[in-house]
Structure 1
């Protein structure tokens, strides 16, 4: 199992539009094979700071998500709306 934390800093003037585009990702992503959890969160102090908290069954499921039509369309539609993006992929320590 993998956990992904995506930290996204929206350009303030695009924060509301970006959140709407991200909300549209929830249903199709949650329906993907291997998606165990997919949550959208925002900072309680900064509305332009947005996070995805994701859990995937394995690396193959995560990589398929990165190539999914809905994620590629989202990336194309939101170009220029994001100041900074950090992606951290974590695995359990056993």
Structure 2
């Protein structure tokens, strides 16, 4: 089991658009096989930075998630409001 922490930096004043994109992604991702937890929260120190906090059972579950229509749609649509490329961190859990 492991966590993925994704750092998403968006263009200023794009929070409403991001919220529209996140809602269906989060709802669908939480139903993906092997997903233990999936959320995205705004950084309280930087209003244009959001953190994905995900917990996955195994690599196969994450790989399958990244091939889903809801994930691919989000990636395609969020690109228009990104300030910087998505930064990912993988943390193994005991």
- Structure 1 and Structure 2 fold alike (TM over 0.5): yes
Shift of 1:18: 1.3
Separation in 2, partners of 1:39, 1:80:
21
How far apart are the structure 2 equivalents of 1:32 and 1:82?
25
Partner in structure 2 of residue 67 of structure 1? 67
**Contact kept? 1:15, 1:81, Cα under 8 Å:** no
Length-normalised TM-score, structure 1: 0.90
User: What is the CA RMSD across the aligned residues, in angstroms?
Assistant: 1.3
Which 5+ residue runs of structure 1 have no aligned equivalent? none
* Mapping of residues 8-87 of structure 1, within 5 Å: 8-84=8-84, 85-87=86-88
Query: Relative to total residues, which structure has the larger strand share, 1 or 2?
Result: 1
Residue 19 of structure 1, CA deviation: 2.5
- Relative to structure 1, the CA distance from residue 47 to residue 23 in structure 2 (aligned partners, 3 Å threshold; closer, same or farther) is farther
| Structure 2, gaps ≥5 residues long | none
Cα offset, 1:80, TM superposition: 2.2
| SS of match in other structure, 1:40 | strand
Question: What's the CA shift for 1:13?
Answer: 3.3
- Alpha-carbon offset, residue 77 of structure 1: 1.6
Count of aligned residue pairs for this structure pair: 93
